[in-house]
Every structure is written in structure tokens, then in C-alpha cells.
Structure 1
Amino acid sequence: MSNIGCKIIKEVQRPDNSLVEEFRNFSVANIDDCLNRLSSVHQDIRPVNKAKLLGTAFTVKVPEGDNLMFHKAMDMAREGDVIVIDAGGSTNRAICGELMINYCKLRGFAGVLVDGSIRDYDALSIMDFPVYARGVTPKGPYKNGPGEINTVISFGGQVVHPGDIVVGDADGIVFIRPEEALDLLEKVKNVSKKEEEIMKTMVNEGTYKRPWVDPKLDEIGCEYI
């Protein structure tokens, strides 16, 4: 008999690391634009430090204020994984702090994301290891369970599958389905190249060409007085 809400899936299908690395130098803003501006996580989930985030999702679902399954996940995840924790968005109790994050760094993980709170902010804020969270509190977690590992979760308003490509910067986080990554990559490259050309024109000619502005104003019937 299955125990609904208390489940650990041992194996995760991860994308090839070379595909993940293709997204290293692209901004979250440009990636989200190419995902029809629908895929970034809620703006309340913020980076704790300036470390750049890139890896593959290792998902964890926990009850609000409980980190039993995170402790188990730390022993299961692999180098390059980003531990993505669905804590229900509750900020009342911290899911982790300095000790757990340092262990994750030691294990070679690529980051920890918490849709909930962390603690030991001063220590985490100067670490060269990506940590994102919705809140900060000194209140510690319970360790009672249940929870899930490597199931589909909700994180900051987005659906996250184990093995999704995770990209984060100071603006926020996006999750990319591996099967959509190659098509997306070409779109992001084109957008980034276009932005570089616009910036070059601004610097060299002192102008920002936007031929669509006046036609759009005409379309919406803007009145000039």
C-alpha cells in the first residue's frame, strides 16, 4: 500500500551537462522573455548572495517548517544538482541554515532554493554558493516529515520536474524542461544578440531605435493634444 505524501524516488533523469552549460551566460530576464514571460518564479523569492545559479533540479517537498526530507535529500543528490524545496511558501520557520548549506556546498551541489525561509543570513550572504529563499527567520525547523523527494513540485508559482534545468541570477529563477532546451537556446541566443546590437547602436549613435512605438500608439487611439 502506498503512503501518499511520503515518497522517495531514487533515480532522476538528468539532462547532459553540456546542455545545461549552454545556459550559463544568459540572463534570466532574456530566458523568461523567450518563455513568453510566464516562467519566472514569484518575485518574493530572492537570492541570499551574489553567486550565479545553474544546475539541474533535485526536488524536495516538505511540510511547512519541517526539513526531514531535506536531510535525506542531502545524502541522495549528486554534484551539479540544485536542491529545490517546496515548503509551501511558509516563512514562519527556517528550513535550513549555515550547517546544511555548507554541507550542500561540500557535496558539490549547484545551489539550494527554498520556497520558505532560511536562517543564518549573515553567514549565507557572504558564501560563494547560490541560495534563494522567500524569507528569513531565526526559528528552527521540525524534523518529523512526511514529504517527498524527486516528485513534481510547485515552487514560487511554477511547476518543477526533477531534472529540469535551473538558471538564476539577481533578477530571479527560471526552470527549463530539457526537451524544450535546444529550441529555447536558439531563441535566447537571438534575443541576446539583438540586445547587444541595440546597445552598440545606442553607444555609437546616441539613439534607441523603436519603430514600433508610434504605430502602437496609433493602434490604441492615443490622443495628441
Structure 2
Amino acid sequence: MRRKLGGLVISGAIRNSEELLAGSFPVFALGVTHRGPFRDGPGEVNLPIALSGMVILPGDLVCGDADGVVSVPRHEVEEVHALALKKHDDELRLMAQIKAGTSDRRWVDELLIRNGCSIES
């Protein structure tokens, strides 16, 4: 936090997870361990990395939540943001329709039938 980082994504384990997760600094890791880190490397800063098949360049946007982490190339951030806002609005409308009992789910039956499934009443 003192270094003005927005969070930590590590393809490895963290320790002191209870303290880390209780704070406001976002941390995403593959697991938790009781063992401490190696403070003398290996490691590099401001170079491309690859995590789970994603190539992440310095300056790319990295976002995460309890379900995982995604990286957006810097030059695609505005487009992805606009698409994400549209998706969010669509989902809010759908949730309102579900709550009101007015959602049209015929497309599910149509998709199942197209894929060879039979629909029983």
C-alpha cells in the first residue's frame, strides 16, 4: 500500500491470510501456506507475465473478485468497460423480470429442442 499498488495477484500461496483478507488491500492467490516468502528472489518488475494462459503487460487493467481475476489490455479498457456496463444493465433488467415473474425463458426450451433434448410438461 505504501508503494501505491492497487492490489496483489500471485500465482502462488500467501500467508497471514486472515489479516490480509480483513483489510481493504485486494489480494488474489492460488492458496494459503504457513511458510514465509523468499525475500531474495526470484522476481522482476515491469515486464510481461503469463498467468493461467493470460499474458499481462505492464499498464494492463487487472480486476478480481471472489470468483477470480481477469486482465484487460490497456488499449481495450474503454471498449470492455462499455460492454461490461451493457451486460450489467441487461442483468439488472433480467433480475427485475424474474422478480416480477415476467421473464420469458422460451429461448431455453428452444435451445434444448435444437440440441435434441425432449421437453416434458
Q: Which category of TM-score, normalised to the shorter sequence, fits these structures?
A: 0.7 to 0.9
State which of 85, 94, 97 in structure 2 corresponds to 1:198.
94
CA offsets 1:44-101 (integer angstroms, 9 cap, x no match): xxxxxxxxxxxxxxxxxxxxxxxxxxxxxxxxxxxxxxxxxxxxxxxxxxxxxxxxxx
RMSD (CA atoms): 1.9
Superposed CA deviations along residues 94-142 of structure 1, whole A, max 9, x for unmatched, are: xxxxxxxxxxx23332111111011112221211111111111121233
State the alpha-carbon separation in 1 of the partners of residues 27 and 8 from structure 2: 5
Alignment-derived partner of residue 140 in structure 1: 36
Partner in structure 2 of residue 218 of structure 1: 113
Instruction: Kindly provide the amino acid, as one letter, of the partner of residue 3 in structure 2.
Output: R
TM-score, normalized by length of structure 2? 0.84
**Structure 1 spans left out of the alignment, 5+ residues:** 1-104
- Matches of 2:53 and 2:18 in 1, distance apart? 27
Measure, in 1, the Cα distance between the counterparts of 2:3 and 2:72: 24
Distance 1:197 1:150 in 2: 41
Larger radius of gyration: 2
Superposed structure 1 runs of 4+ greater than 3 Å apart: 143-147
The 1:188/1:222 distance shift into structure 2, 3 A limit, reads: same
Whether 1:165 and 2:61 are equivalent positions in the alignment is yes
1:209 aligns with 2:98: no
Equivalent residues in 2 for 1:1-225 (5 A)?
105-204=1-100, 206-224=101-119
**Gaps (5+ residues) in structure 2?**
none
Measured after TM superposition, the shift of residue 146 of structure 1 is 4.3
Percent identity reads 38
Give the letter for the 2:38 counterpart: Y
Q: Which amino acid aligns with 1:148?
A: E
How high is the TM-score relative to the length of structure 1? Answer: 0.48
Specify the SS of the correspondent of 1:151. coil
Between the aligned partners of 2:96 and 2:118, the Cα distance in structure 1 is 33
Give the total of aligned pairs: 120
